[in-house]
Chains A and B, each alone.
Chain A
Amino acid sequence: MTEANALTIAAARDALRKGELSAVDLTMACLTAMDAGDGLNAFVHKTPEIALDQARAADARRGADAPDLNGIPLGIKDLFCTKGVPSQAASNILRGFRPEYESTVTAKLFDAGAVMLGKLNMDEFAMGSSNESSCYGPAVNPWKSDDRELTPGGSSGGSAAAVAADLCLAATGTDTGGSIRQPAAFTGIVGIKPTYGRVSRWGIVAFASSLDQAGPMTKTVRDAAIMLGAMAGHDAKDSTSADLAVPDFEAALTGDIRGKKIGIPREYRMDGMPAAIDKLWADGCAMLKDAGAEIVDISLPHTKYALPTYYVIAPAEASSNLARYDGVRYGHRAKLAQGDGITEMYEKTRAEGFGAEVQRRVMIGTYVLSAGFYDAYYNRARKVRALIKRDFEQAFAAGVDAILTPATPSAAFGLGEMANASPVEMYLNDVFTVTVNLAGLPGIAVPVGLDADGLPLGLQLIGRPWDEAGLLNHAYVLERAAGFVSKPAKWW
């Protein structure tokens, strides 16, 4: 038998139910793996006492009718507020912050019996695609190429690294422009961003409120279905949360997609796209076709405007959302000099507390909202966003059930490799994923193959709004056809 920490949620659930495994033993295996995985810098705050308490409670309620996640050890992205446990969005400005409340998502997971191993590394305030903007330093991808240390992607880089390295069974992530799907693709795991409004944002540190969604990062599509079921649902505390019933996502994994129409958007075929990505995409099409789906070319004509639109709207909202980190009530406050007033307190606190990428986005956001530029930038971006959304609506109205695209324009790149690149080059990582956030749609990254260097590559499936069930089933078919079973060689 594999080490318990390497189990999927589904396998562990079955073993726990049958009494072949105890939650405490499973948790111990994960805690051991977590400690042994310090070289990955995935966990930034460990909570073994909480984990063992929760595991013991899970063992006490173990049985055939225990919830699916009973006794399942998870890692929690540092963006989620967890009661009494440091929650600082990987930012110095929230140093020492321990919330007095539990986010809706983690509360739901814990109610379902899940075990929290600790908090996971991420880009500061979820702003980044390489986990390098974290105040804790970057998480490291368990996959390596030529001994180069690689990024696990971002912003949910710690989540991706931890799941890929079997430090936990699954992890929570959040996705504002691709922060679940890109790291999932970079580490050979599954990550789904649900429809905007499917999962409550309450208690998750906000980056860009109209784009942020939490979702599971798991080893398999089935695990994603199980965990999403526990995370999703209406929350009266989040005004943008949808009052819709949550279907049984796992039950939707029939493996039957015969007659379904898969759209291939021609605008996603980028100039200079690596051949490996191109081939992967074509392979994915063939797999779905073999499963009985119909492959159709579609057009999403406003795709080329998605990145600039995203990089107006997301920083605009962020500049406002991050105004609360002012040193007045919690988190970091700069030491002030004699004669310093309130302005100096703000300036010094925020200069010390925010990293360079966060500062850049706050400034961009402030600029695009300022008098005289609002219409040219923010308002125009809102209009383009509506057009991007309409592109998808038209595709779905024409009968498309899901859309297949690459998840990322490349495999994982080396840590530090982009240090001297322009920020825009880094932003290009999001090129296939931001449209989905702008349109509020569900999107999932599924590992499909390895590149010539032996690094995982993923494809993205995009679904109709609220049709995570159908989307997961398509992903399930793709996963089975791809038969991706590779694991990174353990070096850490």
Chain B
Amino acid sequence: MLDVTYSPPKPKVIAGARQDWELVIGMEIHAQVASNAKLFSGASTQFGAEPNSNVAFVDAAMPGMLPVINEFCVELAVRTGLGLKAAINLRSAFDRKNYFYPDLPQGYQISQLYHPIVGEGEVLVELAPGVARLVRIERIHLEQDAGKSIHDMDPTQSFVDFNRTGVALMEIVSRPDIRSAEEATAYVTKLRQILRYLGTCDGNMQNGNLRADVNVSVCPPGQYEKFQATQDFSHLGTRCEIKNMNSMRFMTQAIDYEARRQIAILEDGGTITQETRLYDPDKGETRSMRSKEEAHDYRYFPDPDLLPLEIEQAWVDDIRASMPELPDAKKARFMSGFGLTDYDANVLTADLESAGFFEAVAQGRDGKQAANWVINELFGRLNKEGLTIADTPLSAAQLGGVLDLIAAGTISGKMAKDLFDILWTEGGDPAEVAAARGMQQVTDTGAIEAALDALIAANPDQVAKAQQNAKLAGWFTGQVLKATGGKANPAVVNAMVAAKLGL
């Protein structure tokens, strides 16, 4: 495996009217656990169901109903922790976070404040070849999602949909190690990639299955280094939390807006109020949701309906033993094993399906050539047709067959592209299709020689030019290919031209 070393990126510096400022960002990612049932009930988590159709008695907080932990959700949280190189807490516990809202039927959210299931971990966020930010994970805890309040169906009444109520979320809390909007989105992208590799969250941001709360503060250059040396937050500025971001684009806009807003206040001699803010994508600004003074007192306390969650090291070890290869390792292996460039390895490991497809094509073949074909031809075509790798009409075996025909010298690169097109639209076995369509380059030196001899005899001027300047010998190659209807093997022709002209 390649031992890649990275250097950290320079923090983004924002020039204010009076001085320079730096950004400091920490994130809380809410990732929906990829479980078919809720965290404490057997109700379905299917997206888009009829309102209030996926609701168990306990989800609706009917009197006397009790939560029972879904072991599969615990397993996926542990798997996620292992994927983020985090400490797994064999003993964790659930707490109640109390507040009133109609989409929170119990009047409390079951969460893990005091004893989360996963402790400290890390995520390597690559920003450019050789440049990466190591973002520390503080903790991951399991908690219930809330339902949905609907205010726009009736002028006088609000409605609630409890389908989402009680769905399992992992809250992944980072340290304030992120230093720009670009790093923030790269962090979310990397985390999402890892979660999808692990199969613990589908990462669908549009459906709200991955949402981020972004904590933003600004400080003068130099302050952050003091914080890192001491972990003393007083060196940093006061933060504001932008809630519930589920779009990378809006996240970037919100962070940049929020940074400018804070800088403007500070340069005017004001102070930042710690508060929760919402981003309004229509206006392109963040606005206050509630200040610290109005903040809820959540009255956390251990949930007496649930015993502490105790898991066995042996179970954790079993999960560890079944861990898939993760993006960093796969990328390193693709670079060292297949000789890929950093860029190609990144593209091909972006998601598991692409990586799997590539690997099936590259296995036992030229890795770089396989990468070129997958990235340029296959991905290009998929993009053009608005398809994803899951929808590809061309299998890895078919593409591999095409590459085999090239490697055997049976078809030329140009023929291969034609064959790719035919296989894409019509399917079939590459070798059979090529044979049926007469796609076979001429390697019969006799036929090539005859064509070349005729050309040399008919074009003494060109012979003279080529002998003075070898680059001009290509004219003969082109003419031979033309005369043979493109079927002559260019390599064979080149070699013969050189020999005949004495180059």
Q: Could you tell me which A residues sit within 8 Å of B by CB distance?
A: 80-81, 87, 89, 94, 97, 99-101, 103, 201-206, 208-210, 236-240, 316-317, 319-320, 322-324, 326, 328-330, 342, 346, 366, 369-371, 374, 378
Contact = CB atoms under 8 A, between A and B. Distances in A.
Contacts of A378: 301
A366 B297 CA distance: 10
B191 to A, nearest CB: 31
A236 B70 CA distance: 12
A473 B96 CA distance: 40
A323 B63 contact: no
A99 B62 CA distance: 8
Given A209-B305, A329-B105, A371-B297, A239 B68 contact: yes
A320 B107 contact: yes
B98 A99 contact: no
Contact of B100 (A206, A346, A371): A346
B297 A324 contact: no
Interface in B277-326: 297, 299-301, 304-307
A238 B66 contact: yes
B189 to A, nearest CB: 36
B98 A320 contact: yes
A155 to B, nearest CB: 15
25 contacts: A99-B63, A201-B66, A202-B64, A202-B66, A206-B63, A206-B64, A239-B305, A316-B301, A317-B301, A319-B98, A319-B299, A320-B96, A320-B301, A322-B107, A324-B61, A326-B102, A328-B102, A328-B105, A329-B61, A329-B105, A330-B62, A342-B101, A371-B299, A374-B301, A378-B301
B63 A239 contact: no
Contact of A100 (B57, B108, B158): B57
Contacts of A89: 63
Main secondary structure of the interface of A (DSSP, over half): loop
B102 A342 contact: yes
A99 B300 CA distance: 29
Interface string B95-125: 0101011100111100000000000000000
A239 B64 contact: no
Contacts of B407: none
Given A205-B63, A324-B107, A371-B297, A240 B305 contact: yes
A202 B65 contact: yes
A94 to B, nearest CB: 7
A370 B297 contact: yes
B496 interface: no
Contacts of A374: 299-301
A240 B297 contact: no
B67 interface: yes
B207 to A, nearest CB: 25
Interface centre among B60, B98, B107 (most CB of A within 10 A): B107
Given A97-B63, A326-B107, A370-B299, 13 more contacts: A81-B64, A100-B57, A204-B64, A206-B63, A238-B66, A239-B68, A317-B301, A324-B61, A328-B160, A329-B61, A329-B105, A342-B102, A378-B301
A369 B299 contact: yes
Contact of A239 (B65, B69, B300): B69
Given A81-B64, A369-B299, A209 B69 contact: no
Interface centre among B68, B108, B304 (most CB of A within 10 A): B304
A323 B68 contact: no
A326 B100 contact: yes
B111 to A, nearest CB: 13
A355 to B, nearest CB: 17
Interface in B18-67: 57, 60-67
A328 B301 CA distance: 24
Nearest to B160: A328
Given A210-B304, A239-B69, A369-B301, A320 B108 contact: yes
Nearest to A79: B64
B174 to A, nearest CB: 25
Given A203-B64, A323-B108, A329-B60, A239 B297 contact: no
Contacts of A210: 304
Interface centre among A81, A236, A240, A326 (most CB of B within 10 A): A326
